Structure 1
Amino acid sequence: MKRYWKILTLCLITVIVLGTFYIQSSLALENIRFEFEKVSGDESLVENLEINADYVVGDNHQTLLISNEETSNLSNRSVVQQLTGLYGEASAEQLISKYKSFMRGKNLLSSNFYEDEQVVVYASIEGKSINASSLNSFFDIDVLDKKSEKSTSMKLDLPKTGSYGWVDIVDIQIKEGKLLVIARGSRINGGEDLVAYTIDLNGKKITNEEVVFSTPTVENGWSDFRFLNDYHSNGPEKYLLFKAEAFEHESSEGPTAIVDDFIVYDVENNKIVKMELPEDFVGNIENSSVVDSVVYIPVQTPNEIKVIQYEIETEKWDKKQIFGVEPSGNSEGEPFIKLQDGKIYIVRSVNDGHTLAIGDLNTGETLYEGHLKVKNLKTDLEDYKLYIFEIKDVG
């Protein structure tokens, strides 16, 4: 009997020791606070900046939302917050803070919203099967007039029911006073369509449905496309950039590309433009950004980031801007790069933390340089890793 008591006591002590260690580590992580520390430039550029990152120490992991004012631990969200996704979509959070009544009960995906100086528009596809073009699928549309603070709601049956396995909204715009819902539909027989639905908001009816682009049907492979514009943007956009792909498995050597193109959809003129890449093109076009009529594409080298430009209206490659980056001095890998609203954001891991640089894509000027510093880091947690996966200006 004494033997069993000794075993039970040893197990209890082990549980207490391990539990105390993990509780202390978790509490330490919960109290982590980051701050932006200016080195040079315009400090106002980080006043409304938010950074989503995973903070990792050993086996402990926390998802953080870092701003100039505070560091929030998103891993400690309540069940209600997790279910409503209040932390998932930054653009939806801003709309919630300004239009709480209008936003109540809505799907909080950024692609479902549009906002300009006059209106806020919400559009989603509802039905028995979410995003499916079933007999009961319909557009759920709600339009808020900012001046009168009145909203107009409507439900419109989705056309061509049965043509697609599912239909998913990728963007909504206002064009010539009408609502343009841009969606991708997965055809039942394979491949995808980019479909533009024109909706008369006053008449509460769909006036036009047009397939503006299609990927081919592939019997033994896959065929789709994906949008590369800033996902969190709800404002007016003249151009949408997307990548179209179609691959077929023809041999054991791997898939063969049938379509592998970068394409611009001119929303205003309802026109498709294929981007012709130079033969010596080197760059990550999937991290690109569209500002006005220019596509900005980052190209990374060890000590600099070159941003090359493609002018959509002339269909020509234009000037380039070069931004220097501080050598990391460690093995943390490549910097995090985000192009957004005419600026480039660069976060790089260095020996004493992380550097943050903000540059102007048009002029090549560095607007801000600073450090992302931990202000209450305990000595036993100094060996941490910060994995950044989003930067956004919410001002």
Structure 2
Amino acid sequence: MKKYWKVTATIIITVLSFGIFYMNVAMSAEHFPELVIQTKTGDKEEIRDIVLEGSYTDISSNNYLSSRFKLTADGSEYNNRSFLSEIIGQPDTRIKELQEEYRSFMRGKIPSETFFTENSEFLAYARADYKIDSLRSSDFTFEVSVLNKSNNSTNSFTIQVPVSEELDHIYVEEVQMIEEELHIITQNSMRNGHDYTNENHIYTVDLKEQKISEHETILQVASGHDDIQVDSHLIRRSASGAAEQLLLVKSEYEIIEDVESHRLEQLNKELISYNLVTKEKEEINLPDTLNLEENEIRFFDGSSVYFVNKEGHVTPYNLAEEQTGEAFDLQLSFEPDQQPPMITVKDEKLYAVNVSNTAQNNPGIVVADVQTGDTLYDGEIVLKGDSSESAGDYELYIYEIVVR
């Protein structure tokens, strides 16, 4: 029996570790504050379909551990902090809904909304995979799966990424399905000897033939010089439905070295449009009132771009008509150097919420009519009842707003 004492001791320690972990979780869960959306003006029905996802950090205890929560008109719910969820995390609201509705199709897929697209006929998934050896990444492939909702059939296959011998890294930024063609939009790091470039690519997949029918580089960004940083990114838009048009922002910064750190000073920004159907690319010439130095693009609904500055001034810009819409101000309070609010647009309504807040400044939430600019709802996120009395210093960070 002596030779088994190490195994027995290991099992006992493991069991005790799990027990202590769950006891700590249970004890800490009792101290999670209850968050509510408190109405200031307007009809609370306007926020009935909103889900806010964020994190709560108790900074008074000096441990700075964050707890994820979901907040609706009915109150807050903290994620089940099981041992497994602590390791793999919890899926976002939209992914959780897909997992409940299409349980079989969603099984085994990475729970990131980026890899999915859905319309009335199909639910499609695509992600990039590769092998890592001692020297570099290799054998780049796309894993593709499409569910036909009408007959519940699934078309799944793996295809090789073209020109993968020049790839150093690939990341899927968005998946689109238009006219039964699947488009995979990626951010690629390309290698040519000792030189690297970052590129935005589009791969069009023929689902019947299970092959890539078209492949195009839509934007190429050189690595820049030692004191210059250049990058590009897709503009955030609604995950539901399809948009023929993609928007990308190309930014150029100068790296300024200070005594103990460095900072970035913006030199130039370009807004670039790409049409998935016509394959046309063009730079968008914005009016002077919408310069990208003072305004951030916070949302794209497929036809209009929504610019927001740090004071909460919103200006819609219709791409097809090349015209600015009725500008309006969000009834939100802002601290110095605070990020512009997170917004989303659905059914001609704009939903906005402060991103980062402290105990001294409750996060605001606003619903506005995008046509008139009228505020339909104005509220704030507060700690309910006893929670506010017992809470010390804390921070709230909102990282997603979903309208169901």
User: What is the TM-score of this pair, normalised by structure 2?
Assistant: 0.77
The alignment partner of 1:96 has SS state of helix
Partner of 2:6: none
- Which residue of the other structure, out of 80, 83, 89, is the alignment partner of 1:79? 83
Offset, 1:70: 4.1
- Which residue of the other structure, out of 381, 395, 398, is the alignment partner of 1:389? 398
Offset, 1:300: 3.5
Determine if the alignment matches structure 1 residue 288 to structure 2 residue 291. Answer: no
Call closer, same or farther: CA 1:357–1:162 in 2, change over 3 Å: same
Offset, 1:100: 1.2
Q: Where do 1:84-123 residues align within 5 Å? A: 84-87=88-91, 89-123=92-126
Call closer, same or farther: CA 1:377–1:211 in 2, change over 3 Å: same
Q: Where do 1:57-206 residues align within 5 Å? A: 57=58, 58-59=60-61, 61=65, 62-74=67-79, 77-87=81-91, 89-129=92-132, 134-188=137-191, 189-206=195-212
Deviates more, 1:371-380 or 1:152-161: 371-380
* Partners of 2:364 and 2:182 in 1: CA distance: 42
Are 1:308 and 1:319, in contact at CA under 8 Å, matched by a contact in 2? yes
Offset, 1:258: 7.6
Offset, 1:266: 2.4
Call closer, same or farther: CA 1:279–1:371 in 2, change over 3 Å: closer
Determine if the alignment matches structure 1 residue 29 to structure 2 residue 31. Answer: yes
Are 2:273 and 2:281, in contact at CA under 8 Å, matched by a contact in 1? yes
Sequence identity percentage: 18
Are 2:308 and 2:340, in contact at CA under 8 Å, matched by a contact in 1? no
Are 1:91 and 1:394, in contact at CA under 8 Å, matched by a contact in 2? no
Give CA deviations for 1:317-364 in whole Å, capped at 9, x if unaligned.
413321352657xx6874861221241313487979444221122321
Call closer, same or farther: CA 1:228–1:129 in 2, change over 3 Å: farther
Specify the code of the residue in structure 1 equivalent to 2:248.
Answer: F
The alignment partner of 2:341 has SS state of strand
The alignment partner of 1:264 has SS state of strand
Partner of 2:52: 51
Partner of 2:275: 266
Deviates more, 1:349-358 or 1:335-344: 349-358
* Partners of 1:353 and 1:293 in 2: CA distance: 33
Call closer, same or farther: CA 1:149–1:83 in 2, change over 3 Å: farther
| Structure 1 residues without counterparts, runs of 5 or longer | 1-21
Determine if the alignment matches structure 1 residue 341 to structure 2 residue 345. Answer: yes
* Partners of 1:260 and 1:335 in 2: CA distance: 18
Q: Where do 1:274-313 residues align within 5 Å? A: 274-279=283-288, 281=290, 285-301=295-311, 305-313=312-320
* Partners of 2:245 and 2:129 in 1: CA distance: 27
Partner of 1:8: none
| Structure 2 residues without counterparts, runs of 5 or longer | 1-23
Offset, 1:394: 4.4
Call closer, same or farther: CA 1:223–1:272 in 2, change over 3 Å: same
Are 2:330 and 2:366, in contact at CA under 8 Å, matched by a contact in 1? no
Determine if the alignment matches structure 1 residue 377 to structure 2 residue 386. Answer: yes
* Partners of 2:163 and 2:170 in 1: CA distance: 11
Are 1:229 and 1:240, in contact at CA under 8 Å, matched by a contact in 2? no
User: What is the TM-score of this pair, normalised by structure 1?
Assistant: 0.79
The CA RMSD over aligned residues, in Å, is 3.5
